Amino acid sequence: MDPWLSTIILGIVEGLTEFLPVSSTGHLILTGVLLGHSGDKAASYDIIIQLGAILAVVVLYRDRFAALAFPKARQRFAGRRGLTLLFLTCLPAALLGLFARGMIKAHLFQPLPVALALIAGAILIFIVESKKTAWEKYHDLDDVSPSLALGIGLFQCLSLWPGFSRSASTILGGMILGARRKLAVEYSFISSVPIMMAATGYEIFKSWDQFSVGDLQFLGVGFVVSFLSAWLAIKWFIGLVSRVTLRPFAIYRILLAVAVFFFWPN
């Protein structure tokens, strides 16, 4: 396939799936297999173009990020406290990812492990969505406590299994710990920025020598396309979760996993 078309497809897949509970990494792995986009360099490319999706979150939630540097009165998710909460959320997965990066790329970046992770995440969605809303005790970003932030961070470790989804792990973790669904989604978006920036920066540092000057134009296009598609996905998803549960995403995950098991090339 034409490399430019492959780049655009991968950018769209990254942006549309990064913040939905369906796993962008899993989709990129599966799409990469179909496009012949595989190997260590391909895996690094997939991680690097996440920068576009990260920027979409920063732009859409610019007031919240600005408050981290310039807190206003009565804002609790702001300033030093807000930064501490984000640090607590990012720490567990960052440490585990640092030590497990090689093993994950060597053994889990394959269609079968992705399919198993899709099913595991779907089962957890059905379980969490069956709980009573009476359990909810956190309704707004300013309600987020250190224990909730750290608990979400521990759940985020599940996202290191490609196909499980960072978004799914943090959203479901937040809901299990008492966060309202919309709050869990918004906190998932915002807390994704530091962990994704750290992961992307580390990947650039470790794998930059794999890329030539000619590859930069493809990385740039993937960045722009992922930014635009992530922008649209975030706006749509926020509106959706106020009206429906996450069960449709669980059904989609199961259907995709079944397709992988039965129709994916060996």
Query: How many CB atoms are located within 10 Å of the residue 102 CB?
Result: 9
Determine phi and psi for 72, rounding to 5 degrees.
Answer: -110, 165
Is residue 3 over pLDDT 80? Answer: no
CA 119 to chain centre: 17
Residue type present at position 135: W
CA 42 – CA 75 distance, rounded (Å): 42
Per-residue pLDDT of 71-112, as tens digits, reads 887 888 999 999 999 999 999 988 888 777 777 766 677 788
Per-residue pLDDT of 154-207, as tens digits, reads 999 998 888 899 999 999 999 999 999 999 999 999 999 998 888 788 777 777
Per-residue pLDDT of 233-247, as tens digits, reads 999 998 888 788 999
| Overall domain count for the chain | 1
Please enumerate in sequence order all residues whose Cβ is within 8 A of that of 67, keeping only pairs 6 or more positions apart, or say none. 75, 77, 78, 79, 82
Q: Name the residue range of residue 182's domain.
A: 3-263
End-to-end alpha carbon distance in the chain: 20
Is residue 1 over pLDDT 80? Answer: no
